[in-house]
Amino acid sequence: MIKHLMLLLNMFILLVLNSVFSDVSLNMDATEQVEAGNEIYVEITLNKSDYDSFARFQQEIPAGLNPVPVNTANADFSFKDQKVKFIWLKLPDEKQITISYKLQVNQRLKGNFDLKGTFSYISGNERKSVVVSPQNIVINASSTIDPKLIVDIKDFKNLEGPSESTKQGLEQVKCIRQLPYLADQGNEYIVNLLINKGNKEKFAKIQESVPEGYTAVSLESKDAIFTFKDQTVKLLWMNLPANPYFVVSYKLVPTEGVSEKPNMSGTFSYIENDKTLSIDIIEKDVSLQNASSENLLAVLNSTIGKTSEAISYTQPLDYSGKVKIEIAESALRLINDDSKLTSMLEPESGIYYRVQIAAGHRPINMNHYFKKYNLDKEVRAEFHEGWRKYSVGSFYVYKAARDYRVHIWNTTTINDAFVSAYNEGSRVTVQEALMITNHEWYR
């Protein structure tokens, strides 16, 4: 008995000492009580001391809550598998930083839950963690929802999945245009387009013909490359958004003397079985502006089977050589007007690393620009977060990429090269890649 008491006492002393002498601490402030349909505001203050390398703050979020970032303090924000993550490749210089986000509460929820969190960081090449004190949050049932539809937050994830018709609606690629409508002020028309991408991930294009007398200006592109030329609007994706369905929008600005409502026509193009397919955009009298996810899904389900038949209009893709579809060619011309198609970075499997050597917004002649550095590896280009990024090499071990980065520092005038990480062709932080592969980090 005494032995057990001594053991518990020692554990308590260790916990107290850890809280007293730890140089990293967390404090969380969140909305304690909210009505379903509103938002929970979460703010975390981190006293990080002098640590400035890889770090991650993570919280598990119950089903029915949708997080939206507010202040990331230069972290990479993500939400997947009900986990909110703030990831820093390098922590900010300030000893105290604040991050925050909002949790949008589903209107059907009620109940309470404990919001917890863990901050992990690297110290002396070892991973350490600090746990934030949990906070209980109460969700009151909405007064505007039928009581029969209200569900306790603990049971929300166990709700019956999508019906067969809903699944069919989500699997069918389609594009729906809301009838263009006048903006609140002025004589400009707003064009909203709802895209359901199905299981498509890469290379897609919206192309719309704009009537004479109007010019088009992007409002929300969802990371697409937006262009307007020769009365044609184009939105081009090298990588489609993660959401299965989403809305893009632009406005039509009339020239002087034009008053007629614009009549629109357009197509949505995508890749399937190594071919580029094209479908007509359906125009409907629906509301897509600021629509909830449930309302967007209802619009999609109302058009099941109404999408026009997809038409193949290009040759098959040849991933071993040049990409032979019009969508990829158009996007690549925008990314680098003077480069060959083979200079585009192609995805590889698994975790791998490259060394980024330059980035910019304007197209360059890659062969001419990088020739002066006498690099022994081929330079490849990619379009990421609005930047044209150029990198070399492909390494499956982080240390090999780090060593090649040092080689570039020592043999060229490029002194700001750094290692970038990828998972199945998509950029991730180096920290995430290291955690997945259990590789060590080296300065």
Contacts of 114 (CB under 8 A, 6+ apart): 134, 135, 136, 137
In the CATH scheme, what architecture does the domain 336-437 have? Answer: 2-Layer Sandwich (3.30)
The two tokens of residue 284 are 């409907």
Domain with CATH 3.30.70.1070 in the chain: 336-437
Distance CA 210, CA 183 (A): 17
CA 78 to chain centre: 7
One-letter identity of residue 175: C
Number of residues assigned to the chain: 443
Q: Look at the domain 22-158 and name its fold.
A: Immunoglobulin-like (2.60.40)
Taking a C-beta distance cutoff of 8 angstroms, is the pair 300, 169 a contact?
yes
Whole-prediction pTM: 0.41
The single-letter code of the amino acid at 367 is N
CA distance 354 to 394: 5
pLDDT at 232: 92
Instruction: Please state at what angle helix 398-411 crosses helix 430-437, rounded to 10 degrees.
Output: 140
CATH code for the part of the protein at 171-312: 2.60.40.290
Per residue in 84-119, pLDDT (tens digit) is: 999 887 888 888 999 999 998 888 889 999 999 999
pLDDT higher for 174 or 17?
174
Partners of 99 in the beta sheet? 44
Distance CA 162, CA 127 (A): 40
Report the alpha-carbon distance of residue 84 to residue 76 in Å, rounded: 11
Tokens of 373: 């550095």
Question: Rounded distance, CA 155 to CA 158, Å?
Answer: 5
- Taking only the tens place, the pLDDT of each residue in 307-330 is 455 554 433 333 332 333 344 444
Q: Give the C-alpha separation, 213 to 141, whole Å.
A: 51
Pairing state of beta strands 83-88 and 55-60? Answer: antiparallel
* Residue 388 in tokens: 């044209």
Beta strand residue intervals within 225-334, DSSP E: 225-229, 232-239, 245-254, 265-272, 275-280, 282-284, 311-312
Q: Which token pair is 145?
A: 């929802």
> Which band of pLDDT confidence, cut at 50, 70 and 90, is reported for residue 142?
confident
Domain(s) of CATH 2.60.40.290: residues in the chain? 171-312
- Confirm if 397 and 439 have CB atoms less than 8 A apart: yes
pLDDT (0 to 100) of residue 353: 94
pLDDT of 340 higher than 80: no
